[in-house]
Amino acid sequence: MEFRHSLSRRIVIAFMLMTLLVGGTFAIGIVETVHQVEERLISNELGGDLERFLKMESIDDWRHHPEPGQLFYFSDGHGDFALPEELQSLAPGFHEVYREERSYHGFVQLVDGRRYVLLQDQSGFEDREQLLFAVVFGGFLISLALSGLLGWLLARKVIEPVVRLSTQVRHPDQLLDRAPSLAPDYASDEVGQLAASFDTTLGLLRRALTRERLFTSDVSHELRTPLMVLASSCELLLESPSLDARARGQVQRIARASEEMRDLVQTFLLLARSRNDEPGMTPLASLTEVADGLVEQWRPAIEAKGLTFHYQRGSGTLMHYNAPLLRSVMGNLLRNALHYTERGAIELQLGEQGFVVVDSGVGIPESEREAMFQPFVRGGQARGEGLGLGLSLVQRICESQGWSVSLSGVEPQGCRFEVSLTGAAC
C-alpha cells in the first residue's frame, strides 16, 4: 500500500504512533501495577484486622466493634453481626463487594467451619484510584500532543534541506552552462548524495542541450551559404530572356522554396539561441506587415490549386513581434492548410493580438488533435511527403515566445488554428 502523505506528515505520524504504543503500554502498566499493589496491601490489612478480632473475642460473646468504615459479620452472628445472605457464598480471601450502591473491600476467612467476613468502605480509595487514572490518562494525552509538536519541529528541520534542494533543482538557472554544483551546499549524508546525483543528471542534461543548440546553430549557419547561392542563381535565371514560360515557372518555384528554407534556417537559429541573447538584434514587425508579405507569397499557390483565399486584414495594431518567428508560425499554418485542402477555401483572419487560419480540408478527429503538435505526427488522412514537423515547430516557437496555439474543427469539415500573441510584444 502506497502512502500519499508528505514526508513531514509521515514523521509526525511516526512520532505519535511511537508515543501511542510506548506511552499507552506504560500507562496501562502503571494502572495495573497500582491496582495489584493496593489490592495486596488492602488484603493484608483486612486480614490482619480480622485476625486481631478473632484473638480478642470468643465466638459466643462478641463485644468489640470494628473500626469506623468497617463492617464485621460471622456465621450464627446476632444483630449487626449476622452474616447477610449475599455474603454467605464468598470464598475465603479478598473480594470487592457492592452493597446498596456502595462498594467495599472484603476479606473472608473460615475458622472451625464458621465464616467470618470483614468489609471496609472503599469510597475514598475509589476516589484516589479515579484521580490516579485521570492523571495517567491526562499525562498520556499531553505526551501524545508533545510528541506531535516535537515530530512537527523535527520534521521541519529534517525536511528543510530536501525542500531547499527541490527548489534549487527546479530553478531555470540550473540549465545554464555555468550553474554552480548543488552537492557542496549539503552535508555528506543522504541529502548530499541526492544532490550529487542531481548534479550528475543536470550535467548530462546541460551537455545534451548544449550539443543540440550547437548542432542546430551549426547546421543552420552552414545552410545559409548554399541557400544564398540558390537564391542568387534563381535571380540570374529569371533575368535571362531565353527562358520559356514553363522554365520560368519552375525557377520561380525554386526561388520560393529557397526563400522558405532561408526563413526556416533563420527560425532554427533563433530557437537555438537563448531568449535573452542579443534582443536588439532580432528584427521586429507588426502582425499586419508579416501577414501582407505571406499573403502575397501564398495567394498564387493557393489559387493555382483551385481554392478560394480570404484575407481579413482588420484594423491592425501598433505592436511589433519577432518577425522571423511570427513569419514561420503563420507560414507553416498556411502551408499546412494548402497541403490538406483539396476543395473549398482557406481563410486568414487578423485580430488585435493574434490571427486565425481556417481551411475546408480533411480535418482532424478530436481524439488526434492534441497529438498533432508532437514531432513526426501526421493525421490519419495525411498525404504527401511531409515529416509532420510543421505543427511541432509552430508549438515550439509559441512556447519560446509565450504565445499560444489551439486547434479546433469547423463544420462541415476542416480545421481552425488560432494563435494568440499576448505573451511577447514590443
Axis-axis angle for helices 390-401, 323-339 (nearest 10): 150
Q: Is residue 426 part of a domain?
A: no
Whether residue 294 is found in the same domain as residue 365: yes
Q: Which of 243, 274, 305 is the last residue before a domain boundary?
A: 274
**In a domain? residue 122:** yes
Question: Which pLDDT band, with edges at 50, 70 and 90, does 358 fall under?
Answer: very high
Overall domain count for the chain: 3
Regarding whether 237 and 181 lie in a shared domain, the answer is yes
Same domain, 374 and 289: yes
Give the pLDDT confidence score for residue 412 in this predicted structure.
81
Whether the model clears a pTM of 0.75, i.e. scores above it, the answer is: no
**Residue 158 falls inside a structural domain:** no
Q: Do residue 252 and residue 305 come from a single domain?
A: no
Q: Which of 49-58, 141-150, 382-391 has the weakest average pLDDT?
A: 382-391
Residue 36 domain flag: yes
Sign of CA dihedral 66, 71, 76, 77: positive
267 and 306 in a single domain? The answer is: no
Q: Is residue 154 part of a domain?
A: no
CB contact at 8 A, 262 and 224: yes
Which residue in 356, 360, 351, 388 sits closest to 372, CA to CA?
Answer: 388
The whole-number pLDDT of residue 348 equals: 94
Q: Within this chain, do residues 412 and 365 fall inside the same structural domain, yes or no?
A: yes
Residues 149-174: tens digit of each pLDDT: 888 888 788 778 877 888 888 877 77
- 152 assigned to some structural domain: no
Owning domain of residue 206: 171-274
Is 320 a member of any domain?
Answer: yes
Do 92 and 134 share a domain, yes or no?
A: yes
- Kindly state whether residues 141 and 13 are assigned to the same domain: yes
* 179-211 residue pLDDT tens: 788 888 888 888 788 888 888 888 888 888 777
Tell me, yes or no, whether 367 and 382 share the same domain.
yes
Indicate the residue among 274, 306, 339 that finishes a domain: 274
Residue 308 pLDDT > 90, yes or no? yes
Position 1 in a domain:
no
- Cβ–Cβ contacts within 10 Å for residue 15, how many? 20
For all residues of the chain together, what is the average pLDDT? 78
What are residue 309's DSSP bridge partners?
Answer: 346
Same domain, 413 and 288: yes
Mean pLDDT of 81-108: 77
Q: How confident is the model at residue 364 (pLDDT cuts 50, 70, 90)?
A: confident
- Alpha-carbon gap, residue 265 to 273, rounded angstroms: 13
Q: Identify whether residues 335 and 217 lie together within a single domain.
A: no
CATH number for the domain harbouring residue 208: 1.10.287.130
Residue 283, exposed/middle/buried by CB under 10 A (0-12, 13-18, 19+)? Answer: exposed
Kindly state the average pLDDT of the residues 19-38.
80
- 8 A C-beta contact, residue 328 and residue 264: yes
Q: Beta strands 284-286 and 320-322: pairing type?
A: antiparallel
Same domain, 128 and 183: no
Of 129, 146, 163, the position where a domain reaches its end is 146
DSSP 269-322: HHHHS-TTSSGGGS-EEEHHHHHHHHHHHHHHHHHHTT-EEEEE--S--S-EEE
Strands 102-111 and 93-99: antiparallel
Query: Which residues does residue 108 pair with via DSSP β-bridges, in sequence order?
Result: 93, 117
